[in-house]
Structures are given as structure tokens and as C-alpha cells.
């Protein structure tokens, strides 16, 4: 993907988080700003953007009290809204510019907002909880600035921000990609999972098993699985550790420059925070002296000699040189868990152990790791061996003649054509698919407004300007998006292609019968 599809940070994109419960009195307006990007914009400009957003939220709530605005389309900009927590809003403002190929789906941009918030909560807890912990706001601002800037580093090329656009129409953020395994391998995986569950004694622990960048097994609830899977693919898998680049990054090159740019932007953010803290009248009690954990930093995880992944992101216990084991929060149970990651070749295993069950700090975690090595090493070797033998390579899920995306909304699982195959599609085909998906998103939203029982079912086949067939089909919680280039001109051909694909790869879900 070339620079032609890149939007400029300083002019084209703004991203802010604000709290409607704060800054309601004259002279305290800055108090509501929790995060703003770019950070070096003057405060009056930031307040103008947030004031407009707040006005739009208030106005739309008159007509829809339960669901305020999700998007406002202006002549030159799109304003994308997401209420991450009650009265805490995330807003992304993107410039419309045809020369920069700024053609995107609003739902894809909202999924970026949802993802960064979900990951933040997994590591730091809710924004509201941190505000309650320190009402001055200094603590939450410090955490948000460093976390979000590290997150945005995966979208940066130099000083330019590359958001998901029409070229990413055959991807679905917020889902997991699963590995298809045979019966023998599945039995080995189940046996391994049972051993993992016993490593912490009587304490309930959870596990996530990945092969390369694909999910093999999970004992977590769907939301927690998505969050941990996303983090693993971003920072833990063998491809990431070997290349120093996120395997989910939308960037194809320039990673080193991106990291350097992130450091520069973080420095700018830090100087802006200093301005915040310097104003005691606006932010009483803020001094900016906080220990900030940055779990999304690049190149901070390494594989130890024993196979466990180690990082110094969480620092070390007082009087010890051993790095502190990472911790996360589970969304479903609201438990704080130790995160232990083990890797053997292409197999990555993540074990979550309740913090309350470990009485001796790092010494207790080390004992659990030792138990895992003694009881599960051979099983992990066998699982990796069987999965490797059955692995079909990077193009394992390529279907000749098809470029597709299959989404199971009930299970939050997606499967798609390999990225290398998608790049063979023309711009006209991808733009047509992006616009079609935008229409499908609108229909799905209308169905949601009608009530939870009104599931939308639809099938659309469009002949694009370049004579490609662009197809969308939604039925029973499942979605299929497809592009057929160099295809026969008849609609019957497109229908037959869908039928064959559905019968062979989707158990006939999208078949006409």
C-alpha cells in the first residue's frame, strides 16, 4: 500500500476523548479534555472541536435519548462518535480528500475506537475508575496519552496516519481468526488445555493457544478472548518478535520510521501534559509524577531461554532484578490476572492466573511456570508438531477465483482471503466493495434500532465499473463479502459462484435452498 492512501496527521485527522461530567463551569472547560490528538494543537482549537462534538451529542439525544449520534457527515469531514463509557466519549474527525484516497467505512473507524478502549481497559481498568481514583485527571491523562500514542504507532508512516480505508474492506477488526485443525490435533489441544488448567492448583486459570497468528483454543469469554487475541497478535506472536513489527499492522513498510515518529509525538504529548499540570487552577493536585505502564510499546518482549516471554514494561519488584509479571483485567469477571506467555516455535500459549491466588509475588508466579514446564512441555511439543504438519502455509485459506471475507457475528470469528491475494484486486473493485459494506452497515443499524429480534437478511450483487462482481450476503448472524474479477457477465454466474462457495466452505449457510 503506497503513500497515496495516507492521511496527514496535523491536518486530516483529529482524535479526542472527553468527559461530559467535567468542566461544566466557566474557567474549567479544559478539565473535560482527557486526550487530544494531535497534542500540539492550541487549547482553544481543542475546546472548539470538543464543544462542537458535545453540542452534536446533546442535540441528537433530544431525538434518540438511548443512542446518541454515531456519525455526522459534514462537507469536508466525517465525525465518528463512540460512547466508550457512560458520558465518556471518543471522537475521531477525518478529512474527506479524494486525492488521498480517503474512502473509508464509518463502522471500520468506530471499531478502531472500540479496540483501543477495550485494550486500555484490559491493562488499566476503566477510564471512570481512574478518574475516581484521582479526580484531578492527571493520572488518566498520562495513561491515555502514552497508551493511545503507542497504539497509533501501528498506523503511522513517518508523521502520517494511515487509517483503515477501502483497501481493508476484506478485513474485520474486533474478530478472531481461527486455525482449522484435524481430529487428532484437536484431541492433543484439549489434553494440553486440561493440563494448563491444573498448573495453578485449585485456582481457576484461563488459557489462550495460538499457532502463528491464528487462534487454536480459548477458555475465556468472547470479549476477553478478542482483547487478549488482539494483544497477542500485535505484540507476542513469533512473527512480531522476529520482525519487530506488528503482524496486524496496516503498514507494509517504514516500521522503523513509524517508531521514531511515535517517540517524537509522545515527546510532544508529554510537553502538552506539562502545560496541563502547570495550571494548578485548572487541575488542582496534578504534578505529573506517575508510573506509567506502556504495554503497547514496540520491541519490549523477548523470548527467554526457558521459552517464556519476558518484558521489563511492568518494571521490577523493589529490591529485585526480576521483571514484574504483567497483569491484565478480565472484562467478564473483573478479576486481575497475571499474564504468562510461553512460546515454542510457532506455538504461543498465554496462561492467566488470578493475582489473588499467588501469595508470594514473583516467587509464586515462578512456581506456576515451573509446574507448567514439568507437566505440559511434552504436550506443547506434540501440539506444535501436529499443527505444523497440517499447516497449509500463508495461503492456506485462499480459494482460487474468490476474494472473500466471512464473518460469524455470533462467535466473533472471521476468515478472509490472504492479504497477498487481496492486493491483486483493482482499486475500482475495492472501492465498490467498501461502498457496498457501508450500505450493509446502515441496514444492520436500522435492524438494531427496530429491536434485538429484527435480524437483517439481505443479498446484494453489484456489477462494478470494471465489470467485477461485488457481493454481500447477510443471514442468520453470518456475513459473506466477495469480489469476483474476470468473471462471466451474467448474474446467474455470480449466484452459482456464491452457491458453490457456500456449500463447500460455509456448510450451505448462504445457499438458496
For residues 313 and 64, which has the higher predicted lDDT (pLDDT)?
A: 313
DSSP 140: H
Residues 195-214, mean pLDDT to the nearest whole number: 90
For residues 280 and 485, which has the higher predicted lDDT (pLDDT)?
A: 485
Is residue 449 very low, low, confident or very high in pLDDT (cuts 50, 70, 90)? low
Q: pLDDT tens digits, residue range 341-378?
A: 999 999 999 999 999 988 888 888 999 999 999 999 99
Kindly list the distances between the CA atom of residue 422 and the CA atoms of 85, 274, 275, 276, in Å, as whole numbers in the listed order: 36, 45, 46, 45
Terminal C-alpha separation, the chain:
40
| 8 Å CB contact between 456 and 441 | no
Q: Where are the alpha helices (DSSP H) in 327-486?
A: 362-390, 419-422, 427-450
- pLDDT at residue number 508: 86
Sorted by sequence, the CB contacts under 8 Å of residue 294 that are 6+ apart come out as 146, 147, 150, 300, 313
- Reply yes or no on whether the pLDDT at 194 is more than 90: yes
Cell 490476572 locates to 337
- Reply yes or no on whether the pLDDT at 5 is more than 70: no
Q: pLDDT tens digits, residue range 314-335?
A: 876 555 567 889 999 999 999 9
Residues 260-284, mean pLDDT to the nearest whole number: 46
- pLDDT at residue number 285: 35
Count of C-beta atoms within a 10 Å radius of residue 45: 12
CATH 3.30.70 is right for the domain spanning 403-505: no
Residues 282-296, mean pLDDT to the nearest whole number: 65
- pLDDT at residue number 8: 40
Give dist(CA 82, CA 16) in Å, integer: 11
Q: Which fold has domain 3-168?
A: Beta-Lactamase (3.30.450)
- Reply yes or no on whether the pLDDT at 21 is more than 70: yes
- pLDDT at residue number 283: 35
* Domain ranges for the chain: 3-168, 183-246+298-390, 403-505
For residues 289 and 395, which has the higher predicted lDDT (pLDDT)?
A: 395
Count Cβ neighbours within 10 Å for each residue of 384-399 and write b for 16 or more, e otherwise.
bebbeeeeeeeeebbe
Give dist(CA 323, CA 317) in Å, integer: 7
| 8 Å CB contact between 471 and 485 | no
Are domains 3-168 and 183-246+298-390 of this chain identical in fold?
yes
Give dist(CA 512, CA 502) in Å, integer: 10
- pLDDT at residue number 345: 95
Backbone torsions φ then ψ of 39, nearest 5 degrees: -70, -20
| 8 Å CB contact between 209 and 218 | yes
Kindly list the distances between the CA atom of residue 57 and the CA atoms of 18, 37, 73, in Å, as whole numbers in the listed order: 12, 20, 14
- Reply yes or no on whether the pLDDT at 3 is more than 50: no
> What rounded mean pLDDT belongs to the chain?
86
Kindly list the distances between the CA atom of residue 81 and the CA atoms of 57, 69, 112, 160, 452, in Å, as whole numbers in the listed order: 9, 7, 11, 22, 22
- Residues paired with residue 403 on neighbouring β-strands, in sequence order: 483
Q: Which of 256-260, 383-387, 482-486 has the lowest mean pLDDT?
A: 256-260
Please report how the helices 138-152 and 106-124 are oriented relative to each other, as an axis angle in degrees rounded to 10: 130
Q: pLDDT tens digits, residue range 24-79?
A: 888 888 999 999 999 999 999 999 999 999 999 999 988 888 778 899 998 889 99
- pLDDT at residue number 320: 57
Beta strands at 478-484 and 403-408: parallel, antiparallel or unpaired: antiparallel
- Reply yes or no on whether the pLDDT at 159 is more than 80: no
pTM of the predicted model, to two decimals?
0.89
- Reply yes or no on whether the pLDDT at 284 is more than 70: no
Q: Within its chain, how far is the Cα of 505 from the centroid? A: 26
Backbone torsions φ then ψ of 93, nearest 5 degrees: -115, 120
ω into 38 cis (within 30 of 0): yes
Give me the sheet containing 7-8, strands edge to edge: 7-8, 160-161, 156-157
User: Which of 290, 358, 367, 370 lies closest to 327 in space, CA to CA?
Assistant: 358
Residues 70-94, mean pLDDT to the nearest whole number: 94
Kindly list the distances between the CA atom of residue 170 and the CA atoms of 1, 209, 389, 469, in Å, as whole numbers in the listed order: 14, 25, 28, 15
Q: Where are the alpha helices (DSSP H) in 198-307?
A: 222-235, 238-243, 255-278
Give dist(CA 285, CA 448) in Å, integer: 44
Q: Where are the alpha helices (DSSP H) in 28-136?
A: 43-63, 106-124, 127-133
Give dist(CA 154, CA 372) in Å, integer: 33
User: Which of 181, 114, 212, 175 lies closest to 413 in space, CA to CA?
Assistant: 175
Give dist(CA 367, CA 359) in Å, integer: 11
Give dist(CA 301, CA 107) in Å, integer: 32
Is residue 291 very low, low, confident or very high in pLDDT (cuts 50, 70, 90)? confident
Give dist(CA 113, CA 41) in Å, integer: 21
Percentage, residues of the chain above pLDDT 90: 65
Backbone torsions φ then ψ of 265, nearest 5 degrees: -70, -35
- Reply yes or no on whether the pLDDT at 18 is more than 70: yes
3-state secondary structure of 406: strand
| 8 Å CB contact between 121 and 329 | yes
- pLDDT at residue number 362: 86
Task: Please report, to the nearest 10 degrees, the dihedral formed by the alpha carbons of residues 160, 163, 166, 172 taken in order.
Answer: 150
- Reply yes or no on whether the pLDDT at 208 is more than 80: yes
Residues 199-211, mean pLDDT to the nearest whole number: 88
Percentage, residues of the chain above pLDDT 70: 85
Q: Which CATH architecture has domain 183-246+298-390?
A: 2-Layer Sandwich (3.30)
Q: pLDDT tens digits, residue range 219-256?
A: 999 999 999 999 999 999 999 998 755 544 433 334 44
> Cα angle vertex 213, ends 209, 217, to 5°?
25
- Reply yes or no on whether the pLDDT at 426 is more than 50: yes
Please report how the helices 138-152 and 255-278 are oriented relative to each other, as an axis angle in degrees rounded to 10: 170
Residues 306-310, mean pLDDT to the nearest whole number: 94
- pLDDT at residue number 293: 92
Residues 133-151, mean pLDDT to the nearest whole number: 95
- pLDDT at residue number 202: 79
Amino acid at each position: 500500500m503506497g503513500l497515496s492512501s495516507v492521511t496527514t496527521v496535523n491536518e486530516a485527522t483529529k482524535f479526542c476523548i472527553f468527559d461530559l461530567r467535567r468542566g461544566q463551569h466557566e474557567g474549567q472547560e479544559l478539565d473535560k479534555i482527557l486526550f487530544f490528538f494531535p497534542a500540539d494543537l492550541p487549547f482553544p482549537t481543542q475546546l472548539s472541536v470538543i464543544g462542537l462534538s458535545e453540542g452534536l451529542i446533546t442535540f441528537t439525544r433530544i431525538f434518540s435519548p438511548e443512542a446518541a449520534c454515531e456519525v455526522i457527515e459534514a462537507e469536508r469531514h466525517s465525525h465518528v462518535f463512540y460512547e466508550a463509557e457512560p458520558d465518556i466519549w471518543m471522537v475521531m474527525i477525518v478529512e474527506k480528500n479524494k486525492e488521498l484516497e480517503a474512502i473509508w467505512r464509518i463502522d471500520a473507524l468506530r471499531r478502531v475506537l472500540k479496540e483501543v478502549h477495550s485494550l486500555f481497559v484490559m491493562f488499566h481498568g476503566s477510564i471512570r475508575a481512574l478518574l475516581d481514583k484521582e479526580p484531578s485527571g492527571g493520572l488518566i491523562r498520562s495513561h491515555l496519552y502514552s497508551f493511545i500514542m503507542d497504539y497509533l504507532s501501528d498506523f503511522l508512516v513517518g508523521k502520517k496516519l494511515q487509517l483503515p480505508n477501502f483497501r481493508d474492506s476484506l478485513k474485520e477488526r474486533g474478530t478472531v481468526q481461527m486455525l482449522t485443525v484435524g481430529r487428532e490435533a484437536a484431541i492433543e489441544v484439549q489434553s494440553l488445555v486440561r493440563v494448563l488448567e491444573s498448573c495453578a492448583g485449585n485456582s481457576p486459570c484461563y488459557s489462550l493457544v495460538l499457532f502463528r497468528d491464528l487462534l487454536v483454543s480459548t477458555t475465556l469469554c468472547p470479549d476477553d478472548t478478542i482483547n487478549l487475541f488482539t494483544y497477542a497478535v500485535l505484540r507476542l506472536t513469533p512473527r512480531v518478535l522476529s520482525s519487530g513489527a506488528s503482524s496486524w499492522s496496516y503498514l507494509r513498510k517504514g516500521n522503523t520510521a513509524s517508531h521514531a515518529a511515535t517517540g517524537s509525538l509522545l515527546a510532544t504529548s508529554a510537553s502538552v501534559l506539562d502545560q496541563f499540570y502547570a495550571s494548578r487552577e485548572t487541575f488542582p493536585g496534578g504534578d505529573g509524577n506517575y508510573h506509567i505502564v506502556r504495554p503497547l510499546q514496540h520491541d519490549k518482549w523477548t523470548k527467554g531461554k526457558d521459552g517464556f516471554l519476558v518484558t521489563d514494561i511492568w518494571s521490577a519488584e523493589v529490591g529485585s532484578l526480576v521483571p514484574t509479571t504483567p497483569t491484565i483485567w478480565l472484562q467478564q469477571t473483573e478479576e486481575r490476572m497475571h499474564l504468562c506467555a510461553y512460546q515454542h516455535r510457532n506455538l504461543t500459549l498465554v496462561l492467566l492466573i488470578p493475582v489473588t491466588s499467588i501469595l508470594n509475588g514473583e516467587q509464586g508466579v515462578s512456581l506456576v511456570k515451573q509446574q507448567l514446564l514439568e507437566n505440559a512441555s511434552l504436550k506443547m511439543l506434540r501440539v506444535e508438531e501436529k499443527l505444523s504438519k497440517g499447516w497449509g502455509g500463508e495461503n492456506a485459506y485462499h480459494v482460487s477465483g474468490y476474494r472473500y471475507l466471512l464473518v460469524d457475528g455470533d462467535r466473533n470469528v472471521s476468515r478472509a482471503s490472504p492479504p497477498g491475494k487481496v492486493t491483486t484486486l483493482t482499486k475500482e473493485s475495492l472501492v465498490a466493495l467498501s461502498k457496498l459494506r457501508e450500505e450493509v452497515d446502515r441496514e444492520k443499524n436500522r435492524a438494531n434500532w427496530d429491536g434485538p429480534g429484527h435480524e437483517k437478511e439481505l443479498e446484494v450483487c453489484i456489477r462494478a465499473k470494471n465489470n467485477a462482481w461485488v457481493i454481500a450476503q447477510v443471514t442468520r448472524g453470518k456475513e459473506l463479502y466477495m469480489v469476483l474479477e474476470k468473471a462471466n457477465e451474467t448474474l446467474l454466474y455470480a449466484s452459482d459462484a456464491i452457491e458453490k462457495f457456500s456449500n463447500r466452505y460455509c456448510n450451505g449457510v448462504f445457499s438458496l435452498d
